[in-house]
Structure 1
């Protein structure tokens, strides 16, 4: 299945810079969270956005190159799959053509009121995985 990717611009702040003069590695996790949540808010239906929230379960980060204060950075994220209440994302943090980091992450969708896991059904997943026949909520009609 081919999912809709999302490009999330990142604004590096002076507080992101560590004692070595580049972005602290811990900030990358915040960027991934920002990108994944923005992706959800952009593509999910409004009622799903209002009724559900996300909890990170796991992040696997491969750091390739450092980022610096003046860099133009983009986090490109895509939902690879869903299973029950879990969502599996792949995010690539880039500076132009350079890959700075790659992140595989898994998230748990929860009901915003009960804080219990909430299954991601086909009715929601279809917004992220467009049908090849051009029909349905995830398609570019």
Structure 2
């Protein structure tokens, strides 16, 4: 299974009134790393023809992230069948390797021309295996 990772540092803008990363920020990070993985793994032509929409999203929060923590985002696709794909994102503290949050999102593969769901072509499924 192909993984994609990135690092970020928690800033003041990421924090809520409890001085830990706001839950909404985790959701933004999940969406951003999914998009970045898609962009890094595909061509411009593929991205002009297809896009993804979120169908469902589950996130489990395990431990808080705090100001100046270095966060590792790791994502991978666990299933791609028909018109849907399931993507996992693990969010860990890069210094302690402690799991902070884990998400599982179901995405629908869309055709830009018809604006309707499109069966995921084998070539695209193989990119993420």
What's the TM-score once normalised by structure 1's chain length?
Answer: 0.83
SS of aligned partner of 1:119: coil
5 Å-filtered alignment, 1:1-141, equals: 3-96=1-94, 97-129=97-129
Alpha-carbon distance between aligned partners in 1 of 2:79 and 2:36, rounded to the nearest angstrom: 17
Unaligned runs of 5+ residues in structure 1 are 130-141
Structure with the bigger percentage of strand: 2
Moved more, 105-114 or 52-61: 105-114
What's the counterpart of residue 136 of structure 1? none
Unaligned runs of 5+ residues in structure 2 are none
SS of aligned partner of 1:120: coil
Mark the CA change 1:4 to 1:113 in structure 2 (over 3 Å): closer, same or farther.
Answer: same
SS of aligned partner of 2:56: strand
Moved over 4 A (4+): none
Matched positions, count: 127
What's the TM-score once normalised by structure 2's chain length?
Answer: 0.90
What is the Cα deviation at residue 26 of structure 1?
1.3
Alpha-carbon distance between aligned partners in 1 of 2:4 and 2:92, rounded to the nearest angstrom: 13
The 8 Å contact of residues 53 and 109 in structure 1, kept in 2 or not, is answered as yes
The 8 Å contact of residues 50 and 109 in structure 2, kept in 1 or not, is answered as yes
SS of aligned partner of 2:99: strand
What is the Cα deviation at residue 106 of structure 1?
0.6
Pairwise CA RMSD of aligned residues?
1.4
